[in-house]
Amino acid sequence: MMKFLVLTILFSFSSWSLACTEDGTGGFLPENDMYIPANTKSAGGLSEAQFNDVIERLETIYTPLASELGGKLQIARKWEDGTVNANASRFGSTWNVNMYGGLARHATITEDGFALVLCHEIGHHMGGAPKINGFPWIMRWASNEGQSDYFATLKCLRQLFLNEDNSAVISQMNVPSVLSSACINAHPDKRDADICIRAAMAGASVSNLFAAMRSQPEARFETPDTNVVRKTDNAHPAHQCRLDTYFQGALCEKSFNEDVSQKDELQGTCNRSTGHKTGVRPLCWFKPNN
């Protein structure tokens, strides 16, 4: 009887769990009580049409890719919900993502920033190693927070922006010179450099949200986080560290067609051990195994 009970509990934990904080109860943002109702008028943020368009475009790309990996991706469009967050969960082969209208309505969020958040949530399901720690042998389906951030600009936004006029889009942005120079140096092909700039600027949009919620100065491309962790941190990094991760993901020379691995941290990514100087996961959250 006891053996049956233990197996039942293990099956329940392995079949269903939330991701986006180290304890599996939060979301893309740290726990907060901010709520932006659907009837709120704001100088920034997305319209409902923009909200739905971003989700539809990424659904088109990632629903079949999830299916190839044995998952049924379901993105819930919670426009009426004013929660300023997003999260992911699994129940068996159903891969859930919840996108909330409150997040989309926040004044700091751009369409590209909202797309990055959705890419991060998809990244929990498909972003590869390293994974969020859990009970032994179970609850290891979710890529950790830093890896999901890295996947968002390394793979996901590159696919989303691939066939768009990225040069025209970034011409309307105030792009820091350190960002444009780094992307041009990392990607000799202009199309790739434009995508790099656009993806990193999406990270800046989200980073501004982090700063606003914490009443802290905005993170900058010019001032990377100098902290070095002793072991990989699975929780939300500091907002400068997260911007650094978006930046490095955008700089990595690896193609979005080169898949990441759910076990091998090196596959499909840029790494110091393989001679990469840029595009590597920042040491403010990542401790390389090699």
Beta-bridge mates of residue 131 = 143
Residue 61, burial from CB neighbour count under 10 angstroms (0-12, 13-18, 19+): middle
How far is residue 192 from each of residues 39, 181, 232, measured CA to CA in Å? 39, 13, 29
Domains of the chain, by residue range, sit at: 18-274
pLDDT band at 276 (very low <50, low <70, confident <90, very high): very high
Whole-prediction pTM value?
A: 0.91
Contact residues for 33 (Cβ-Cβ < 8 A; gap 6+): none
Contact residues for 118 (Cβ-Cβ < 8 A; gap 6+): 54, 55, 58, 75, 86, 97, 99
- pLDDT above 70 (res 25): no
What is the rounded average pLDDT for all residues in the chain?
90
pLDDT for the residue 26: 59
pLDDT band at 6 (very low <50, low <70, confident <90, very high): very low
User: Cα dihedral angle (114, 108, 32, 243), rounded to 10 degrees?
Assistant: 70
* Chain segment 109-141, per-residue pLDDT in tens: 999 999 999 999 999 999 999 998 665 545 579
Query: What is the Rg, in whole angstroms, of the alpha carbon atoms belonging to the chain?
Result: 18
Paired sense of beta strands 86-91 and 16-19, if any: antiparallel
pLDDT band at 76 (very low <50, low <70, confident <90, very high): very high
- pLDDT above 80 (res 47): yes
Q: Contacts for 94-100 with beta carbons within 8 Å, 24 or more apart? A: 95/66, 95/71, 95/125, 97/73, 97/121, 97/122, 97/125, 99/51, 99/55, 99/75
Report the distance separating Cα 265 and Cα 147, nearest Å.
9
pLDDT for the residue 1: 45
Percent of the chain with pLDDT over 90: 80
pLDDT for the residue 5: 36
- pLDDT above 50 (res 12): no
- pLDDT above 90 (res 42): no
pLDDT for the residue 21: 41
* Chain segment 193-239, per-residue pLDDT in tens: 999 999 999 999 999 998 888 888 999 999 999 999 999 999 999 99
How far is residue 116 from each of residues 9, 12, 48, 64, 255, measured CA to CA in Å? 35, 31, 17, 19, 18
pLDDT for the residue 183: 98
- pLDDT above 60 (res 88): yes
* Chain segment 153-180, per-residue pLDDT in tens: 999 999 999 999 999 999 999 999 999 9
pLDDT for the residue 289: 86
pLDDT for the residue 9: 33
Report the distance separating Cα 240 and Cα 226, nearest Å.
10
